Chains A and B, each alone.
Chain A
Amino acid sequence: MKISTLGYSIKQGLKNIRRNLLFSLASVGTMVACLFLFGVFYSIVLNMEHEIDDIQNSLVVSVFFNEGYNDEQIMQVGNEIKKLENINSVNYISADVAWNGYVEDVYQGDAEYVESVFGDDNPLENSSSYEITLKDISRQDITVKQLEAITGVRKVNSSKETAQGWIDVSTLVGYVSLGIILILLFVSLFLISNTITIGIAVRKEEIAIMKLIGAKDIFVRAPFLFEGVFIGLLGSLIPLVIMYFVYNAMTGYLTQHFALVSNMIEFVPVGEVFKWMAPCSVLIGVGVGFFGSLITTHKHLKV
């Protein structure tokens, strides 16, 4: 297609939208609603995943050894642990490190007092351990059983609080939003198709003349394809702009006014959210607009 034709088609596409403003606005509106919801759900799920990651990384499973195990035996146990597949990291905590940490936590590091009571003894003599983080916290139970089966392991302490709750909610939100978004996308497609159909009906005579004086199919269809693309583009840019401001305002507000929230959750920055969401939205919007008008023009503009 030639450049001048491209210009002509774009101009006609915009003209179609203006002529058929009500329907065009309805199409844009549905698309806005759809992609706004997409944005909302996407940022919720993204933040949840972020939170899940945090929890995953902070949850540790401690493995204690049989009393009197020497360094070499402990090393052996460590090697066995590393062979399990759900292990993210293994960190050795010697009895001294454990005791120092305890002193720090319980006696606020009051070394003098501690010495006066315990002398040089390390009450946690047999408490050297491996601290393990897991790749997938939902499989914690299985991994704990595997750990307990290793010879020389006396005890496995696992945290009861897991991210499972978060994971369940995140999955649910994901499915529900996918459903709603698919329905809305279908409605958008239907409305765009209707808008284009009306546009074609309004310009029926013009299209008939165009064809009779030698217009190629693509020339007749191009303005409607552009119309669909414009509707999709507008329908995706508007919610993105809204999302940008709403997201910043919401996370800012929550962090500022709810200390609990700000202690518990660290929000994903808006740039990170938009990195994938913006191109996805535009792609969905433009795609639905283009596809909607493609099938409609295909149906109605046959000679």
Chain B
Amino acid sequence: MSLSRRDFIKQLAAMSALTALGIPTKAKADQNIDFWSKAVCRYCGTGCGVMVGVKDGKVVTVKGDPNNHNKGLLCLKGALLAPVIYAKERVTKPLIRRNGKLEPASWDEALDLTARKFRESIDKFGPESVGYYGSGQALTEETYLASKIFKAGLKSNNVEGNPRLCMASAVGGYTTTFGKDEPCGCFEDIDATSCFFIFGSNTSECHPVLFRRIADRKQSDPKVKVIVVDPRTTNTARIADLHLKVKAGNDLALLNAMAYVIFREELDDPRFIERYVHFKDNEKKTHTLEEYLRFLDDYTPEKVADLVGVTAEDIWRAGRMFGEAPASLSLWCMGANQRTRGVWANNLISNLHLITGKIGKPGSSPFSLTGQPNACGGVRDTGGLSHLLPAGRVIAKKAHRNQVEKQWGIPQDSLNPKPGLHTTALFEAMSKGEVNCLLTLCTNPAHSLPNLHKFNPGLKQCFLACIETFSDAKTLEFADVVFPPSFWVEREGVYGCSERRYALIGKAIDAPGECRDSVNILVDLAVRMGVDPKLVPYKNSEDVWNEWREVSSSTPYNFMGITRERLRKESGILWPCPTEDHPGTKRRYVRGEDPNIPADYPNKYWFYGNEDGRAVVWMRPQKPPAEPADAEYPFVLTTGRVIDHWHTGTMTNKVPEINKSFPEAYVEINDQDAKRLGVQNGDNVELISRRGAMVFQARVGDVCNPGLVFVPWFDPDRLINELTIDAIDPGSKQPEFKICACKVRKV
């Protein structure tokens, strides 16, 4: 490379940083772009708006959308999205497995074979012998459509998706506390809060652009405090005023102890409690405030400090910081959700807001951060799980089924009243031969399920058809048919991020080869399976979107005002949004903000998801994880994401810059443990759990607590999920990826 070329690239590098900061630059590169098209980042639940630069029909660059909530900033993954589109591993033709090998086939062959297999299974074994497994990365329209095809067209409620693995406990937490799913607050609360309570979230790596906003807020006012609860000293914990480096798995006691401190210090809000809250125990029996306080007596900081693994003094500090702050914002993620008591952890975080009245005000809200870019929109809102129907309705309720039957134009009582199988039950049923055919869309369960040795036989045994972009996705090793879909900006559709914000991904380029839009693949397949064409009369995703708006309009979700036209003009709108002139809703359950509450409603707040209009403060006791460390397996294994890679790596491992800097997974181990085991940085160590063993290079340091090891889960050559446990939360059915026991051995 010549010097001048090198200097030119350095200028570009500096300009990209300036652009990310919102400083206008006259980038030479801009002059080489034919047009810019608006979209949403393909990766995390932050849902950053992006502008895709197209030249000669190809995406040549990606920059942040200055009009979206991210104000033009992207993290490295988002900025490097372009090479993913042009990866050599793109599937561009339908494939059928013949003699053990996936070989090119025609669309008719692939669709007919899949339709025939599904039809035969339904005719012979009933509709529950088939299923669908989708994704929080699919478009909203795709999930709504797939769910309708299976539930209304095929009468199978076996409709699941990978959000069961990441957000199901948040769904359970919100619905049990507020009666309705989804957060009440918005990202703007970050700019107004005075206390961040970050619980089980490595925001700096998993939601990097949001973390910048958090760091900005902290810096803008020295009175702003940050409390981080995490057994690792993550980059997020480094900005904390108080890092509670807890023992993994005992934090329910911590949350109850913080509630205890709040009452002892008289930081509670008696008026809010009296008007808007009631107390319930695990048997759903209602209790008085006095009984709740007696329940909390078992959780004094002094009583729980050892169990939690932090000092009583720090628990007092945490409770005071939360309660004394004018506004407190809780942000949590997989550390709370991927647990056998994930729903309870969610409830107990919301408790802190309800007892202090720190909810529904700028800067005050319980706020779960969604892992995936469209887990809220794509799956939760549209009812893409086995117990759900669109817009917060549930299959088990006849009234809800009847409403949806009417909207879908199918006979009353024709929907299957029995909820389908949740994710791990679905894959177990495949192993037992009870589910014979599965259609997947945009997901990689052979990498992302826990305890893979248990579930992979099911994938092998059943007829597996995958709508999948990349040929190296692990799941394709088991596929019988592969359908090549258009990817990201090759088709139009809508994503809904963590804050209930829906934004449009515009079509910017044509898809390669024979790729088709997934909406069209689903419609074509449904009709060939024998689904009434009148049930799926869609030409494109816009048709599906317009039906979804109608279906939501009689519920508190109400998307009626979020028209395609508005989405094309605006960079995201927060639901509920009942009319085209409605600006969208920043805070739910608040009169004057939430359009579901009449202007003349007598009270300021109304938790209308619950019949009595009150939110529930739950009395949830401490429970240990399913498989704590013991004498035989003395370490706790936890898994998670790193900033560079996304989920199963099928996209980020196509980006040379990322792959070179972060090619493989490692194990993070505490320096005291390493010393004891004679392990040095870079040594190979074997992790052994009750389910399997695997070798990783060691990274020794003080990030993990002693007794804890951490492995990122993106690496397809080191499938850490062969070691994780498939124990699930009994309420949300979400697996406990965050905690299982293991041994560590130098090799």
Q: Do A and B come from one complex?
A: no
